[in-house]
């Protein structure tokens, strides 16, 4: 039997998808909801406890009390400012090791993973729990991007990867070569909504979402799901391209069906090769 | 006497600042307002004619009719989609030379400059007309950034330059190392307004604006002015850092006075050196 899994849960549906996968596979688990990020209503019906993002020491203790040996981080967390963090002693030490510049950096995430591992916990990737969640290359639904959409995808991958290298965002909307909107702290869905106000005449834009090149894959892999498809359809986009092997597609059936109905493509693209792969 | 200057005018106050500089220096000039971008009310009181962004051939002809030998491009232009361009023959040829991918790229701007020069016109930099408009290094007003603001400026320069290299934006807002907002097609003021909704507790963020590393300095140099200062103050920012020698500061007195009053710094920073220069 697999060891008990602690799902450290931010906002959104990813933590629940993990919990449901554990339940289905009869793997022991509990959700550790992060106050202010995990939504209480969603945690009901699953074994869960609560923790605070500034109290990493207490979070580790709770995981020990629950006798979980593996940990997975999942869901949105709005990175707090130092002023709002109210860190416990463990967290103060962690921040001291990470250095003053780490807040807002991938570096902080790496230090958190290391600190958990120093406490004897094994931090695992979301994709190790949620098999088949990583986007494969090529179209996921009935539709595939045409040549002009492929151009926008290529441009979007270029910009999003540059952003990712600077550790500053993971998603962009491109229409006919024009970068309409770039994501920072507001999140993908609000960025997509903004793109609706900026769109030009002609065929709609494409949402492109990638993983940061340097990112620790055990933290914070980007996600798209049904809500992303709804936002893209409402904004008049033509489709969504996610980095194959770098972005999680949640509730794939529930996401792809409305995309097909709305006439949107959803496709896995590969930045490394310069142009996204096309299956037709 | 200097040759007559054609000011090809998009939106905002930069074209008028150039017109006023010409008038003051008794240099002959006229404004060529771009339909849909230049604001008719602002052009009144200056010699002006109108042109269309898709009709580059007609614009060149108008400049010839006015016997202007030098041309300066100034003001906001929302790059149009191909569908809305309705190009004249000259523009079709220009786009064919630039290639299908050029729309939305710096490359298009370079081709426009080249096409004007092939017609015997000399395209000049804004800073050659508007002396002293380029930001110098160091604080422009009464206030200077403190250590923590300098950290945010350093981070902002890093992200904005990465964006600029990808030709996808010129401005970001950073608060305590967290990149709150990134500019794409919406323009700086709307991006700054968005940052207000994303701000964390603690000292406010910093707006950082730079030139693209590869940009033709005769086109589209970034600008800050009184409206930027107002937007930054309304969004609760601590200050504005612009790339020294790469960003135009318009109406400097009118911009700096309200910044001083609102307690905002406005400073010229140098990305090349890694950290912004500090004068104290």
Domains of chain B with bracketed CATH: 5-129 (3.40.50.20), 138-273 (3.40.140.80)
Parallel, antiparallel or unpaired: strands A171-175 and A206-209? antiparallel
Among the listed residues A106, A105, A80, the one whose alpha carbon sits nearest the alpha carbon of residue A10: A80
Q: What is the pLDDT of residue B97?
A: 79
The residue length of chain B stands at 280
Q: Would you say the ipTM is above 0.85?
A: no
Of B162, B181, B186, the CB nearest to A184: B181
Q: Which helix (H) or strand (E) element contains residue B128?
A: helix B126-129
C-alpha span between A21 and B101 (Å, rounded): 44
Average pLDDT score, chain A: 88
CA distances to A37, A84, B276 from A90, in Å: 21, 16, 34
Q: How many angstroms from the chain centroid is the CA of residue B79?
A: 14
The helix/strand/coil state of B172 is: strand
Q: Which residues of chain A are within 8 Å of residue B84 when distances are taken between CB atoms?
A: 200-202
Give the CB-side neighbour count of residue A65, counting CA atoms within 13 A.
11
Q: Are B279 and B253 in contact (CB under 8 A)?
A: no
C-alpha span between B155 and B136 (Å, rounded): 20
Overall average pLDDT of the A112-118 stretch: 86
Q: Which residues of chain B are within 8 Å of residue A200 when distances are taken between CB atoms?
A: 80-81, 83-84
Of A84, A181, A184, the CB nearest to B179: A184
Q: Are A192 and A173 in contact (CB under 8 A)?
A: yes
Q: Which residues of chain B are within 8 Å of residue A186 when distances are taken between CB atoms?
A: 181, 194, 197-198
Parallel, antiparallel or unpaired: strands A48-51 and A223-224? unpaired
Partner-chain contact B166 A180, CB within 8 Å: no
Partner-chain contact A165 B166, CB within 8 Å: no
Q: Which residues of chain B are within 8 Å of residue A165 when distances are taken between CB atoms?
A: 162
The answer to whether A193 faces chain B, any CB pair under 8 Å, is no
What pLDDT band is residue A27 in, cutting at 50, 70 and 90?
Answer: very high
Of A103, A166, A200, the CB nearest to B177: A103
Phi-psi region of A104 (alpha: psi -120 to 50; beta: other; left: phi over 0): left
The answer to whether A178 faces chain B, any CB pair under 8 Å, is yes
The answer to whether A159 faces chain B, any CB pair under 8 Å, is yes
A63 has a pLDDT exceeding 60? yes
Partner-chain contact B172 A184, CB within 8 Å: yes
Size of interface A-B (CB pairs under 8 A): 133
Of A84, A197, A200, the CB nearest to B81: A200
C-alpha span between A10 and A73 (Å, rounded): 8
Partner-chain contact A84 B175, CB within 8 Å: no
C-alpha span between A5 and A129 (Å, rounded): 9
Of A81, A173, A197, the CB nearest to B202: A81
Interface test with B, best of A154, A179, A197 (most B CBs within 10 A): A179
Overall average pLDDT of the A73-102 stretch: 76
Q: Which residues of chain B are within 8 Å of residue A198 when distances are taken between CB atoms?
A: 184-186
DSSP string, A65-94: HTT--EEEEESB--PPPHHHH---HHHHHH
Which B residues in the span 197-256 are in contact with A, Cβ-Cβ below 8 Å? 197-198, 200-203
DSSP string, A99-147: -GGGTTSHHHHHHHHHHHHHTT-EE--HHHHSTT-BPPSEESSS----H
pLDDT in tens, chain B (280 residues): 789 999 999 988 899 999 999 999 999 999 999 998 899 999 999 999 999 988 889 999 999 999 999 999 998 777 766 667 788 888 888 877 777 555 555 667 777 888 889 999 999 999 889 878 899 999 999 999 999 999 999 999 999 999 988 888 899 999 998 999 999 989 899 999 999 989 888 899 999 999 988 777 777 788 999 999 999 999 999 999 999 999 999 888 999 999 999 999 999 998 854 444 444 3
Q: What is the pLDDT of residue A100?
A: 55
């Amino acid at each position: 039997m697999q060891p008990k899994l602690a799902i450290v849960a931010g906002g959104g549906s990813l933590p629940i998808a993990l919990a449901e996968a554990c339940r289905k596979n009869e793997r022991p688990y509990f959700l550790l909801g992060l106050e202010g990020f995990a939504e209480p209503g969603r945690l009901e019906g699953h074994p869960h406890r609560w923790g605070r993002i500034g109290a990493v020491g207490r979070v580790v203790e709770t995981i020990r009390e629950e006798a979980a040996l593996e940990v997975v981080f999942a869901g949105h967390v709005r990175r707090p400012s130092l002023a709002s963090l109210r860190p416990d002693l463990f967290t103060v030490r962690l921040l001291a090791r990470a250095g003053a510049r780490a807040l807002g950096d991938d570096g902080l995430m790496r230090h958190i993973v290391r600190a958990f591992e120093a406490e004897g916990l094994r931090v695992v990737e979301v994709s190790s729990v949620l098999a088949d969640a990583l986007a494969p290359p090529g179209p996921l639904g009935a539709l595939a991007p045409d040549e002009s959409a492929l151009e926008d995808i290529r441009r979007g991958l270029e910009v999003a990867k540059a952003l990712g290298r600077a550790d500053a965002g993971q998603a962009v909307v491109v229409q006919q070569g024009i970068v309409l909107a770039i994501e920072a702290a507001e999140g993908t869905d609000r960025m997509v909504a903004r793109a609706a106000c900026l769109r030009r005449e002609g065929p709609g834009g494409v949402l492109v979402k990638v993983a940061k090149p340097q990112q620790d894959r055990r933290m914070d892999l980007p996600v798209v799901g049904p809500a992303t498809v709804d936002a893209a359809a409402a904004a008049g986009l033509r489709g969504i391209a996610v980095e194959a092997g770098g972005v999680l597609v949640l509730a794939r059936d529930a996401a792809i069906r409305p995309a097909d109905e709305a006439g949107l493509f959803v496709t896995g693209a590969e930045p490394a090769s310069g142009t996204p792969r096309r299956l037709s």
